[in-house]
Amino acid sequence: MKMASVSCGAALATKTETANDVPTPLGFFRFSTPDQAEWLAPDGAIQRGPLSELAAQSAHVRLLLVAPGESVTLHPLPLPSRNRATWARAVPYALEDGLADDIETLHFALGAAPDEGRLPVAAVAHAELRAWLEHCTQAELNPVAIVPDVLLLPWQPGDWSLALEAQRAVVRTGRWDGFATERETLNFMLNQALAEAGEAKPQRLRVWGGAPPELAETDLEWQIEDHSPDLLQCFATVGPPATFNLLQGPYSRQAHWGRRLRPWRAVAALTGLWLLVQGLIQADDYWRLKQELGVLQTRMEQIYKDAVPGATRIVNPKAQLEARLRELTPASGGNSGFLDLLYRGGQPLSRFPELTLRGLSYRDGQIDLALDGGNPAVLDRLRQQLEQQPGLKAEVRTTQREGQVESKVTLKKAAS
């Protein structure tokens, strides 16, 4: 077994410097207990505390939740079919015989693209995934992705990676493969994985966090990277694989918001129905009022025609009738209006039954009466009686046509 040693501090510094160029940095965190977490601070230090403290420090950080490898199993699977639309339905049944749990209790996440003819698949229990998300929701945390810790270890072809913690070990054996186990069973699990790898076994084992375990493969080169790094610091040197995220299907961010809005769907539906009913009622009222307005418009036109015989051009009967009424209203508080003139002129005229009123018009404070019948002597007496009316000036013009006497009497207010 060959040995080499190198520090991962330079790699971490490079990653931190690069991350500073990203407008919204990415933060790693993982649960230590249901309400406690540890996370990587912007300065590269590891912090531990309640989820509420993490939420207060991550307002402008895209959070990535690191899932323990013991809860997630990885299965590089031969492509179920050529039709990508069928993969999500086919994968659970393709893995059913190799899984200890009922496929109905498991959530399957698929890689974004096949790798060398195989489809990366991760399986995690619905109950456990929901519990993680519930703890995040209670603390007002909204992780953009959940990635197994196995896939966050550094990896390159020909190498396997091993990270040792106090009670557990995380092993990455391929681009989309690996496992996590207790320290007591690490030797057995690692030797078994090497035996199963056959010709695909690695040339080198990179180790973080301590000395390598006892291995059956004595010719395997191993390299100690750092004696005591924290796993989150090592994860930061790699970053999340953009093609793998457990938040898929019913756990995607779109589905997450859909679940939050689901309790309000009934309220929204009722509100929409109420608005629709109100709109229909208003439309019916509008149509009914429009019909009533048409009927009233017709009636107004008829009233105007009755009040103003001979009117031919009717545009706005209400405004036109108001204008005619203003003409008949005195211009001031005096008695120079139409009614006053008509009253003063009508009294004398009623004493001459031989005269017939043929027409009447009023304009600018003046009444013109068209009369038929009588004779010049009768008309002269009429003029005299009209002029005897106080404040009234009368003019009488008489013509004869075909033996008939026609007169025009003009009445207006006398000058004071």
The values of phi and psi at residue 165, to 5°, are -115, 180
Strand partners, 78: 118
Give CA angle at 415 (409, 416), nearest 5°.
145
Q: What does the block give as tokens for 197?
A: 């790898």
For 389, the 3-state DSSP assignment is coil
- Region class of 134: left (phi > 0), else alpha (psi between -120 and 50), else beta: alpha
Q: Say what the pTM is.
A: 0.56
Q: What residue ranges do the domains of the chain occupy? A: 3-251, 328-413
3-state secondary structure 57-116: HCCCCEEEEEECHHHEEECCEECCCCCHHHHHHHHHHHHHHHCCCCHHHEEEEECCCCEC
Digit-by-digit pLDDT tens for the chain (416 residues) are 444 433 333 222 333 334 344 456 788 899 999 889 999 887 778 899 999 999 998 888 889 999 999 999 998 888 877 777 788 888 888 888 888 889 899 999 988 778 788 888 999 999 999 999 999 999 999 999 999 999 988 888 999 999 998 899 999 999 899 999 999 999 899 989 988 888 888 999 999 888 777 776 667 888 888 655 678 877 777 665 556 889 988 888 665 555 555 666 777 788 888 888 888 889 888 998 888 888 888 888 888 777 777 777 787 877 777 777 766 655 544 444 778 888 888 888 888 888 888 888 888 778 888 888 888 888 888 888 888 888 888 888 888 877 788 889 888 887 76
Model pLDDT for residues 311-355, shown as the tens digit of each residue: 777 878 777 777 777 666 555 444 447 788 888 888 888 888 888
Residue 303, both tokens: 């009233």
The tokens of 411 are what?
């009445």
Equal fold, 3-251 vs 328-413: no
Instruction: Please give the Cα distance from 345 to 59 (Å, whole number).
Output: 94
| Fold that domain 3-251 belongs to in CATH | Nucleotidyltransferase; domain 5 (3.30.420)
SS3 content of the chain, % helix, strand, coil (to 5): 40, 25, 30
Dist CA 134 CA 38 (whole Å): 17
Record: fold of 328-413: Gyrase A; domain 2 (3.30.1360)
